[in-house]
């Protein structure tokens, strides 16, 4: 079995310093903790969490159903999946490629959704926290 050192990985990237990675939790003052608690209990934070969950769960379920349709069709509808569309390109290949396309589509939709529906609320919450902390 090869290790990172035997593969030459350690020569390509120097080891991380303690500034980059720390196993010690961040010191949080009582004032910071109270600010976190207030923000967590706020209506804005609830809205942010709700919007994220709605998007994430909805699209996860939709993609899983789409994927399972592909799996079941491949297993139980072999005649349909083997229909040639153009040359040697059959329905199964198109379904498989559409799995990749739908993955990228969902990622693009999430990027748009986060930029327009989540980030503005997150920015407001961060500004509120910074104001309370005097930053």
Q: What average pLDDT does the segment 83-103 reach?
A: 96
**Mean per-residue pLDDT for 114-128?**
95
Total domains, the chain: 1
Beta pairing partners, 90:
84
Domain contains 13:
no
| Structural domain range at position 73 | 29-133
Query: Is there a domain that residue 72 lies in?
Result: yes
Average pLDDT, the chain: 86
For residue 135 the two structure tokens come to 């930053």
In a domain, 8, yes or no: no
Q: Residue 3: inside a domain, yes or no?
A: no
The secondary structure element, H or E, covering residue 90 is strand 89-90
Residues in the chain: 135
Can you give the pLDDT at residue 10? 45
């Amino acid at each position: 079995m090869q290790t990172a050192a035997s593969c030459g990985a350690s020569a390509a990237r120097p080891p991380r310093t303690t500034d980059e990675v720390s196993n010690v939790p961040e010191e949080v003052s009582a004032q910071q903790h109270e600010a976190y608690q207030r923000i967590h209990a706020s209506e804005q934070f609830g809205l942010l969490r709700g919007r994220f969950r709605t998007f994430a769960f909805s699209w996860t379920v939709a993609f899983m159903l789409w994927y399972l349709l592909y799996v079941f069709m491949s297993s139980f509808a072999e005649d349909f999946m083997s229909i040639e569309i153009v040359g040697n390109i059959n329905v199964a290949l198109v379904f498989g490629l559409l799995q990749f396309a739908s993955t990228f589509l969902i990622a693009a939709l999430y990027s748009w959704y986060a930029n327009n529906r989540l980030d503005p609320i997150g920015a407001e919450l961060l500004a509120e926290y910074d104001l309370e902390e005097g930053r």
